[in-house]
Structure 1
């Protein structure tokens, strides 16, 4: 069995792996001042960016969910990799030769490694692409040609062909050393009476993550004798492929999405291709599922969507009933975007691929540019089902549309949608608002229906069980890390972690007892356990290793937070600026000791023959002298 990766190679990976490059494959980052960058956190859903990356120190930290770390831990968190897999991935990306020590490395208990599954898909994608050029793939090439896609387009999108014999990829992966488990878990090979290729005789589109890794395939039926009737056969859910979190074409579109603040959602692989080739490079598509909340979270990371930003999300639906149903679903989940949401539907119902074939590239661009607000499209479709020339038709249209408007989760939009509805139906705006509020009331009553007797009994049983539990003593609440009482502690630690090269001898006098906040005290203990300032001066990447050695996740999170948060100094701090905080921290610690001694002196008896009072007084004088010296040094800085 292979041993652990050598420490010097891990250090070289940390040195060469630029965290902004790694993170920007998953998140659109913008300059935030002070050498920091920020974007929407990939680990929780948010509308205002609280995710910060500091390239100079190799740290990321989210001030919303408290996730943080270096480039290695970022990959571990976002891709579910092990430490070794993350190091190997970054080593490959940044050109570091990884060596291993002799000896065993603990095995992961959970199936094949992610890197092996990705490698299998990479081999499969290259193999299928080569097969597209063979005589057996004539039907596949004709399918593409009939839709206006040439060989260059096929290469750009990595399109391939799966041989009809059903065993070619299995044989290739076996030759490459992949196990049966790796081939089947990846979804590339299936197990029946024997092993066989999951995709046989189909045209294939590789489905890639935003960083370009192929994690699945979409397979189109092109032969009449294909035993599987489904037009499209997609990769099943695997450890690396979650269809609710993947958008086809995002690897190609992500930079244009960020640059233009626009994303275009289409319904199929060929529609994505048509849009990109026609000059709409922001197009992406879901993979065999409806656009949902998880897709929205993925997309918003690249849009940079927040309360101060107003981009565009354009859904290019088909004009048929299915397209209208998709628009309705999107409208009900529209609050996933702060940006403006639009719909682009071609008048005759053609999708972007057919439109490009029949009318050319310019027509596709015009379709997207002729977008209309999503709410107007949806309400118009609902209202159009009713005869507005009749009074009862107008009433029915108003009632149905009002129920739809009342279901909108973003309450700030309800009144505006109600006024738009009034204009569409031809009624007074107040009548429309009244109907919407009535629909809201009915919806609330439905949600608040009386629970069943069984539900009430279950609730009473749960309450009784909770009451029977012994009451545990309550600990005092942990002070907030930003409590003003600990401002000097916080700023000192930020300077120590961010400007280690400026920290000199005063830091050697600092002990854990100088920190009153338990977390800050633990951070300093972690610093000392890692070798303190002496180790920091000898190892340029000492800070990036600290979170891994922290005794608790809260302490690790605090380290990354302190490592990226801007300091108070208006300009670049100097060594005198750093020393002033160190001296101030030490002075505050002496202040507390002076207060304790004064209290003890007041309680002591000057006539006590043991001399306790005199000893305390002498100690107080020494502390007062040290306090004055520290204050003088602090102000002198």
Structure 2
């Protein structure tokens, strides 16, 4: 039996660069080797081989693997043939197979013979007199002879015993086990596929493992339109993607993989020149299928019909994917125009229209947000609270702590912007440049004229209470706030990021609100406007522990703005890091595993590094 330990020993005895170098010209590049990728055409090398780590990787097409994967993917060997060849080179004996595993493998090989014979019979029937209705249907779909031959279309005649008679050399129990015949207690077995256009379903090596059949008679209204083989020793529908053996090489060329809803969609797209397409088989996309996609591309595109069923299918796929998300691995999603499937779109608007739709694929988080926002009316506070609860339930499903923290932050920001829209400004601008004027009066504000009316005492007291009681007063916030009042030009670059940062001094909100309605001004004007609106520049005692150059009286403008930018970045980074550490700590307290402990310690180290950076920056100019 091939244990993981034995396979690791085999890999360790193989020098990967020597193995690959026999068929690919490698160049030494530091500790690695590089070459033009053997899996796709390129002019500059992006294929790297690392002997120390024992793997190869192409940064162009994403091809990745070890010595065994090289032998299977590049040399075209079966897994056991690859292992045997490498073992002979390494001077290792291949362990004797487990008798039970050998028996199961023998049975699978025998069932492969059954499926190959059935496929040959179906293809023969399509060209005969009984296949006329199937040929007419294929003509209505616009599939040419090359497409029909390439995808192996066939025909299953109406007779209940036709396949049994045609494959009489195989015993009936084998036909039943292969899913070609149905056995019902008290009745004679009968053929599963009758009067249907047949399509073979193949594994990653191109071997037929199952069939899909489309009904042709319009009179059989009680029969399913599409019928797939049941799960068998060869076929597990939750772990199989239709057309993967053809799509994988095409995906290495294009750098993308497209998932559509059915195998007819796959064939329509392939006929239109989009070859990197796969489809699940009668079920929603499963976790193993998502992992299979990620082995080929990091961001597969899911393409759904634009109707309500397509929306539900997208949400099911998102729910399956969320717990699996990891850095650089996610999904992108497109929805077709309502009422059109891929074949309809191509026929109506051409292949370019389909390419354009795929080019507009959207990130998973965008589709998740919009689907939940639009799922039901949001007319009451309870409705809006329900939206937030649903969003946070999705976040809780994400296993990777950093990704969960970032999703929580992003979705909370979107929810806040939706549920608590920014109040209408008290200011209006006139002409081409921002002007300062209280409503409803007109005319530009000038020094010496009465300043715009200050904020109401109620709003100021509310903000002050939140500021005092929420523990948000700290030296970094105060220093940055004072710096922005002194150097207001930087608000143009950082206002949006600051507005999305949780837990800031409320004076930031008022500062940004004025900036967005008034535009940049000189510091004296800012201080006048802000003071009249209840925003006082922080006192030096609030940031007494800091010695930033941008707070000094004889500041170098370039140096000050550079340092203020660094301080703003620290201010924005801090709550994200603290939220991630808090989430990791809570998770460790719940699960208490080595993995959760390691993640908590990693984030603690990042927090210590952050504090060190802040301390060094704060004391850099201390006298």
- Structure 2, gaps ≥5 residues long: 1-18, 21-38, 41-46, 87-93, 421-498, 504-574, 592-623
- CA–CA distance in 2 between the matches of 1:172 and 1:188? 12
Q: Which residue of 2 aligns with 1:117?
A: 111
Paired residue for 2:174? Answer: 182
For 1:145 and 1:56, how far apart are their aligned partners in 2? 41
Partner of 2:304: 317
Quick one: distance in 2 between partners of 1:262 and 1:37? 26
1:472-551 paired onto structure 2 within 5 Å: none
Task: For 1:344 and 1:321, locate their aligned partners in 2 and report how far apart those are by CA, in whole Å.
Answer: 14
- Name the residue aligned to 2:356: 366
For normalisation by structure 1, the TM-score amounts to: 0.51
Question: After superposition, what is the alpha-carbon deviation per residue over 1:498-529, rounded to whole angstroms, capped at 9, x for unaligned?
Answer: xxxxxxxxxxxxxxxxxxxxxxxxxxxxxxxx
TM-superposed deviation, 1:389: 7.0
Deviations 1:14-64 (A, max 9, x none): xxxxx99xxxxxxx8965256997469xxxxxx99674339799999xxxx
Question: Which structure has more RCO (C-alpha within 8 Å, separation ≥ 6)?
Answer: 1
CA contact (8 A) 1:383 1:398 kept: no
1:423 and 2:414 are equivalent in the alignment: yes
8 A contact 1:166–1:200 mirrored in 2: yes
C-alpha distance in 2 between matches for 1:117 and 1:231:
26
* CA apart distance, 1:289: 1.6
Following the alignment from structure 1 to structure 2, what is the Cα–Cα distance between the partners of residues 325 and 74? 48
8 A Cα contact 2:123 2:152, kept in partner:
yes
Residue of structure 1 in register with 2:523 after alignment: none
Secondary structure at the residue paired with 1:279?
Answer: coil
Q: Which residue of the other structure, out of 346, 365, 374, is the alignment partner of 2:336? A: 346
Structure 1, unpaired ranges of 5+: 1-18, 21-27, 41-46, 61-67, 76-82, 87-104, 304-310, 450-637
Matches within 5 A, 1:258-407: 258-303=252-297, 311-332=298-319, 333-334=321-322, 335=324, 338-387=328-377, 393-407=383-397
The one of 114, 117, 128 equivalent to 2:122 is 128
Distance 2:256 2:217 in 1: 37
Displacement of 1:405? 2.6
Q: CA deviation at 1:320?
A: 2.6
TM-score, with structure 2 as normaliser: 0.52
Q: CA deviation at 1:383?
A: 0.7
Aligned length: 373
Distance change in 2, residues 1:197/1:388 (3 Å): closer
Distance 2:590 2:100 in 1: 53
- Contact in 1 for aligned 2:260/2:304 (Cα 8 Å): yes
Say if 1:336 and 1:282 are closer, same or farther in 2 by CA, change over 3 A.
farther
In structure 2, what is the Cα distance between the partners aligned to 1:145 and 1:53? 43
- The alignment status of 1:168 with 2:162, answered yes or no, reads yes
Q: Does residue 409 in structure 1 map to residue 396 in structure 2?
A: no
Which residue pairs with 2:211 in the alignment? 217
* Distance in 1 of aligned mates of 2:183 and 2:367: 47
Task: Give the equivalent residue in structure 2 for 1:618.
Answer: none
> Does the Cα contact within 8 Å between 1:201 and 1:226 map onto a contact in 2?
no
Q: Which residue of 2 aligns with 1:593?
A: none
Q: What is the rounded CA distance, in whole Å, between the counterparts of 1:271 and 1:36 in structure 2?
A: 40
Alignment check: 8 A CA contact 2:301 2:331 kept: yes
Q: Deviations over 1:210-237 (max 9, x none)?
A: 1110100011222134486222211111
Q: Give the aligned CA root-mean-square deviation in angstroms.
A: 4.5
Q: Is the 8 A contact 1:405 1:418 kept in 2?
A: yes
CA deviation map 1:116-137 (0-9, x unaligned): 2112111211221222223333
Which residue is equivalent to 2:183?
A: 191
Q: Does 1:71 align with 2:79?
A: no
Distance 1:72 1:185, change over 3 A: farther
Asked if 1 retains the 8 angstrom alpha-carbon contact of 2:199 and 2:213, the reply is yes
Q: Aligned pair in 2 of structure 1 residues 56, 331: CA closer, same or farther (>3 Å)? A: closer
Measured in 2, the distance between the counterparts of 1:419 and 1:36 equals: 36
Aligned ranges 1:551-630 → 2 under 5 Å: none
Partner Cα separation in structure 1 for residue 49 and residue 267 of structure 2: 35
Whole-Å separation in 2 of the counterparts to 1:420 and 1:288? 34
> For each residue in 1:308-333, what CA deviation from the matched residue of structure 2 results, as whole angstroms up to 9, or x when unmatched?
xxx42100012233322222232232
Equivalent-residue separation in structure 1 for 2:101 and 2:373 (angstroms):
61
Deviations 1:245-298 (A, max 9, x none): 111011211101223331111110111112212222111001112211211233
* Residue deviations 1:410-445 (CA, integer Å, cap 9, x gap): 3222343344432365247567999xx89x99xx89
